[in-house]
Structure 1
Amino acid sequence: MRSPYPDVEIPDVSLTEFLFADGFGDRADAPAFLDGTTGKSLSYTQFVGYVEKIAAALAERGISDGDVVALFAPNLPEWAALFHGILRANGIVTSANSMYTAGELAHQLKDSGAKLLITVSPFLDRALPGAKEAGIEADHVLTIDAADGHESLADLLGTSATPPTANRTAQDTAVLPYSSGTTGLAKGVILTHRNLVANLCQVAVMGEVTSETKIMAFLPFFHIYGMTVMMNQGLHARATVVTMPKFDLEQFLTITSEHQVDRLYIAPPVAVALAKHPIVDKFDLSCVKAIFSGAAPLDGELGRAVAKRLDCIVLQGYGMTELSPVSHCMPDDRSDLDLNSSGFALPNIECKLVDPETGQEVGVGERGELWVKGPNVMVGYLNNSDATDATKDAEGYLHTGDIAVVDDEGVYSIVDRVKELIKYKGYQVPPAELEALLLTHDKIADTAVIGVKDAEGEEVPKAFVVKQAAGADLTEDEVMSFVAGKVAPHKKVRVVEFIDEIPKSASGKILRKDLRARENA
């Protein structure tokens, strides 16, 4: 089934040319990015000046065609300038989760082949050991702010060199964000300039984002949702993107009110606060026109409660890193749609719903795995052809691992998951990664991890653990502490149950459905 929207033309150019080649007209002196916590802003003219200087400085430091540079920092206007400076230097960006441990960062740096790491001084305690493990020397770790022994953004901006000739084509790789896909360890997702340009063109049809729009960006730029929907959509529309380095409810409300932010992009946990927290009533949020929720399913009743309390429209969409990321969303002019749905397929997209048991395509009203084909679908996973082949078929359809239904109008609703991935507050938690880690504990003989609902209805990782004979004294707290010391906070195991045996198939595959059945018994 094709999108009900007519196809849009996708220019055959790099993201850099797409966003900046035509200049900024009457928006030249308008703020492109505004740091909500400090009030510091970068106009469009200043922003592109930063991009050109950064590109020139990176070229001086040996970055050239197709070299990978890692960004490991919170949301700041400078993050966006560095992102586009790397692309302008004909490089590739790999964006690292700012909550990563040194070990998790090292995996991404090694796998992506990063030559340079740019971070902030408060992250150096993780960035430096991560870089060292990946074979990146300390003098190849730069900081956005000033830090002893490291070149900073100010040093890059101080260059007198000229940027290299831009030579990236639409087909060249632009970014390598990391995703667990439908299962397994984090993998580099190869997204080209065309993938990113295409998704901006597709999204532009669905929402009323203009040069007058102020977009809230507390969701991280390192995540493809923040990267495309907030950062790059803002640039494309010549809007103003208001950044927050981390989420704090009172600060979020203060910034929204003070800077008259009219478009909020959120994940469902923030919707809970907006619907229920008493502090919301202390702020004048009449500036907010639209709230768009993504990264995890939003409950329709919760969304309606937010819409009523803030007197605005609430919309929902669906996507994956592998889709650059948006494939479906509710358009601004259709707030009448069921908020439990994900809206329509974007222009240029074709979908199938396929029965995962029979492999047969199913029709309207029937459940099937959502397959998506379009110009925003990734090239594949870096250094992992097996995972690519398991996720993207010969016809170009991406098998999402999510079960959906579609109605007569072409409105899709995600109703279940085939994939094993746990979504904790919108962040991916791959069970296989936690299982591999738990098995390194000398008192654990076997383990399996699934997602379970906590008291607030949030999906959290639960570990089923079989003790080694010598582990009689192993406690639940010990298991949770062991994991917490080695992973980013969103990956922590939050529930532990000791059992005698992990259920497995004849081929040795963990039978998670049996564990879920046990949980629901």
Structure 2
Amino acid sequence: MIHRSPFPDVDIPDLPVHTYVLAGARDRGDHPAVIDGSRPDGPRLSYAQLDASVGRLAAGLHEAGLRKGEVLALFSPNTIVYPVVFYATTTLGAIVSTVNALYTVDELTSQLRDSGARFLVTISLFLDRAVPAAQAAGIEHVIVCDTAEGFRSIQDLMATDGPVPEVEINPAEDVAVMPYSSGTTGKAKGVMLTHRNIVANMAQSSGMQPTGPDDRVLAILPMFHIYGITVLLNHALHYGTTVVVLPRFELELFLTALAEHKVTKVPVAPPIVVALAKHPVVDKFDLSALRAVLCAAAPLDADTGHLCAERLGVRVVQGYGMTELSPVSHVVPDSDANPPDGTVGKLIPNTECRIIDPATGEDAEAGAAGEFWIRGPQVMKGYFARGADTASMIDGDGWLHTGDIGRVDGEGNFFIVDRLKELIKYKGYQVPPAELEAVLLSDPRIADAAVIGVVDAEGEEVPKAFVVRAAGAESLGEGDVVEFVAGRVAPYKKVRVVEFIDAVPRALSGKILRRELRQR
């Protein structure tokens, strides 16, 4: 059975993403677009300044040699200039490959090489990782968002008086942004999202949870993540909303920004909802301006959502999507006054969903759980340089196989109940088991290894490694394994639990039998 959105289809503008997002920026004049919320009276950009800055940087990047179809990697925490770099790049028809700000040198190098990036834009504090990664990947153009001796800055590039080049863009075919995602399994892959994918998802989501010039949203979600790109950059700036930017999450800094800037809406991942619901320091802050908390990136416990809503007197709702869906397919609309507990919402316009029984490959019976297959204009173009992976993710009829297990009720409310995919979600971040297994196997003291997600005492999914010691490595302990991995991956990917076993269970094909490990 094909489930269709209860909302009428919307028209998809045939425009590049920067044109659509910034269409009204100049007319908004001095209205604040982005504000640095990390300190009192932090710097800000008005909508007119944002629009002008995007044009100047596009001209500067063009003079520096960036051309249509080339990749610029953006390796930065949230800053007020993040959207300037993002839209200046797409203005040239070039592709923004956003990079996780926590990446190690090796992880950054891998993405730079895989994406074929020619430019790397970062901040001075990240140069200790950016420079060796750029050298290893053969990138000559390293540009900083602030200042650093010996490096060009975006301010240097914006000083040009050259014209903004006119670049012909085919929204349906040309890729605008290429974040990296592990999909349903394996290592991270470049997700090719076209201008049309991004604009379509904005148009599809526009009536679900509308914002406007009177709203202020807090950007604590990382802008390198597709959730942040869509909600904090594209959607908010298109509708004239003021975005208050924080570079990192610290609870009191977060609460101070909410209170001082009278934030009305905040998109978050589940760990922040837990803090808002339970931490005693929350009571010290006036959060009366806050009206809504949107939680996505990982499932939220319904009881925690209720606690947060009751404590703050706000609406707490969930949504569902994935990078490969640009990213939204389901959301709880503002028109639903009393959505059922745990729902990720209804299908957004122009979107279809099938619920497939994993055992039979056929549509599940009414009310039964199955894998979500999604079809709509937000489905990615494909994985960069990985045709086989694309074909395994998107079938010949255009259905994207999400790897998530869920169900739908009689009112069209969808629920996520499990995951087919092996991906671990730690505090909203993706942790691919295959990547950690590769790191573990690089240790000569380890003969074999497998990684699964387990739930810790706080209810958080964490990576657990099953390790087979190599001959002569009998003294290898849990702390040794944890330390070895921690030195080679971003902090959120660290192995948190280790169990030593005699052999990793595998099928005849060599595939790890993770189900057997979970049953332990």
The two structures have a TM-score, normalised by structure 1, of: 0.98
Contact 2:25 2:240 in 1 (8 A): no
Please say if residues 313 and 335 of structure 1, whose CA atoms lie closer than 8 Å, have aligned partners that are also in contact: no
> Secondary structure at the residue paired with 1:471?
coil
Deviation sequence 1:139-158 (CA, Å, 0-9, x none):
x1110111011001210121
The aligned residue for residue 151 of structure 2 is: 150
Is contact 1:73-1:119 (8 Å) kept? yes
Classify the secondary structure of the residue corresponding to 1:58.
helix
Aligned to 1:389: 391
- 1:68 matched to 2:86? The reply is no
**Which residue number corresponds to residue 279 of structure 2?**
277
Please say if residues 467 and 474 of structure 1, whose CA atoms lie closer than 8 Å, have aligned partners that are also in contact. yes
Tell me the CA shift for residue 23 of structure 1: 4.8
Shift of 1:166: 3.0
State the AA in 2 paired with 1:106. Answer: T
Question: How far, CA to CA, are the matches of 2:11 and 2:201 in structure 1?
Answer: 11
Partner Cα separation in structure 2 for residue 59 and residue 208 of structure 1: 35
**Counterpart selection for 2:442 from 440, 443, 446:** 440
Residue 81 of structure 1 aligns with which residue? Answer: 84
Contact 2:108 2:133 in 1 (8 A): yes
The runs of at least 4 consecutive aligned structure 1 residues that moved more than 4 Å come to none
Residue of structure 2 in register with 1:348 after alignment:
350
Query: Aligned-pair distance for 1:416?
Result: 0.4
Partner of 2:161: 160
Amino acid of the structure 1 residue aligned with 2:168: N
Aligned match of 1:289 in 288, 291, 311?
291
- Matched residues in 2 for 1:417 and 1:52: separation? 43
1:217 alignment partner AA: A
CA distance in 1, matches of 2:319, 2:429: 16
Shift of 1:192: 0.2
8 Å contact kept, 1:315–1:332 = no
1: CA distance between counterparts of 2:508 and 2:93? 49
Q: Which residue matches 2:302?
A: 300
Match of 1:504 among 496, 506, 509: 506
Aligned residues: 515
Q: What is the letter of the counterpart of residue 76 of structure 2?
A: A
SS at match of 2:228: helix
The alignment-based identity, stated in percent, is 53
| 1:467 equivalent among 466, 469, 493 | 469
User: Residue in 2 aligned with 1:57?
Assistant: 60
Q: CA RMSD for the aligned pairs? A: 0.9
- The 1-side partners of 2:366 and 2:123 are apart by 50
Counterpart of 1:109 in structure 2: which amino acid? L
Give the aligned partner of residue 108 of structure 1.
111
Cα displacement (A) at 1:89? 1.9
Q: Amino acid of the residue matched to residue 198 of structure 1?
A: A
Match of 1:131 in 2: 134
1:34 Cα deviation after fit: 0.7
Q: Secondary structure at the match of 1:100?
A: coil
**Which segment drifts farther, 333-342 or 83-92?**
333-342
- Counterpart in the other structure of 1:410: 412
Q: Distance in 2 between matches of 1:22 and 1:121?
A: 32
**Aligned-partner SS, 1:470:** coil
Does the alignment pair 1:19 with 2:8?
no
Gaps of 5+ in 2: none
Partner deviation per Cα, 1:409-461 (whole Å, 9 max, x = no partner): 11110000000000000000000000011011101011100000111000000
Gaps of 5+ in 1: none
Work out the CA distance in 1 between the residues paired with 2:273 and 2:23.
37
1:202 to partner: Cα distance: 1.1
* 8 A contact 1:68–1:113 mirrored in 2: yes
TM-score (norm 2): 0.98
Would you say the 8 A contact 2:445–2:470 is kept in 1? yes
| 1:404 to partner: Cα distance | 0.6
Aligned residue runs from structure 1 range 2-401, under 5 A = 2-25=4-27, 27-38=28-39, 39-137=42-140, 140-171=141-172, 172-401=174-403
Residues 348 and 8 of structure 1, relative CA distance in 2, 3 Å threshold: same
Deviation at 1:24, TM superposition (A): 4.3
Q: Deviations over 1:356-378 (max 9, x none)?
A: 12110114311110000000010
